[in-house]
Amino acid sequence: MPYAFDPLSQDHRRPVVDIFNWFVANSFAAYPEKPVGNEAFDRFVAMTRGYPSIAVKDESSAVVGFAFLHPFHAADTLRRAAQITYFLMPEHTRRGLGTAILGRFIAQARQLGVDTLLASISSRNEQSLCFHRKHGFRECGRFIRVGRKFGQDFDIVWMQRHLV
C-alpha cells in the first residue's frame, strides 16, 4: 500500500483542517455547516489524548486523510467504549485505507482495554454506513431528524462493533 500512517502532530494542523473543511463544504460526513478554524485541530488533539490518532500520507507525503479514536464518554465506567472517526479524501477511498485504519485501531483499542467501537454517521452518508456494515458494525441507535445541512434533514446513526 503506497500510504503511510504518521502519529497526528502539529505538522498536520493545516492539512487536517483543510480536509475536514472539504467535508464540511461538500458532504454530510462532517456535521458543521460552516468551515472550522485552526482551533478544531486543537480540539481533535485534546479529545484523542491517550488514544491513537494518525495522519494518512500518500506516496508524495501529502496528507490525504486523518483518523482517530477518542473516548465515547468521560465517565470511567464507560472507558471500554471508544468512538472512531476517519476522513479520507474521496480520491483515496476504495483502496483499502479505511480497512487498514480500522484494523490498526482495533488492535490498539484492545491494548487500551476498549472492547466496543462506536461510530456516529449521518444518515445521508451512505458510503460510510455501507463501509461500517461491511466491517461488522451494526446500527445500535438513531436520532431522527436532529440535523439539517444543505437544506436537508438528516439523522445521526450510531453504529457499534464489539471487539470480543
By C-alpha distance, which of 91, 61, 69, 75 is closest to 163? 69
Please check whether residue 7 is in contact with residue 54, taking contact to mean a CB–CB distance below 8 angstroms. Answer: yes
- What's the pTM value of the predicted model, to 2 decimals? 0.95
Half-sphere exposure of 127 (CA within 13 A, CB side): 11
Say what the alpha-carbon torsion angle 126, 87, 92, 52 is, to the nearest 10 degrees: -130
- Report, as an integer, the average pLDDT of 27-54: 97
| Residue 148, Cβ density class (10 Å: 0-12 exposed, 13-18 middle, ≥19 buried) | exposed
- Report, as an integer, the average pLDDT of 114-136: 98
Q: CA-to-CA distance for 21 and 43, rounded, in angstroms?
A: 15
CATH number of 4-162: 3.40.630.30
Q: Is the pLDDT of residue 1 over 80?
A: no
Domain definitions of the chain by residue range = 4-162
Q: CA-to-CA distance for 13 and 120, rounded, in angstroms?
A: 23
pLDDT of residue 130: 98
Q: In what order do the strands lie in the sheet with 4-7?
A: 4-7, 53-57, 63-71, 81-88, 116-122, 152-162, 138-149
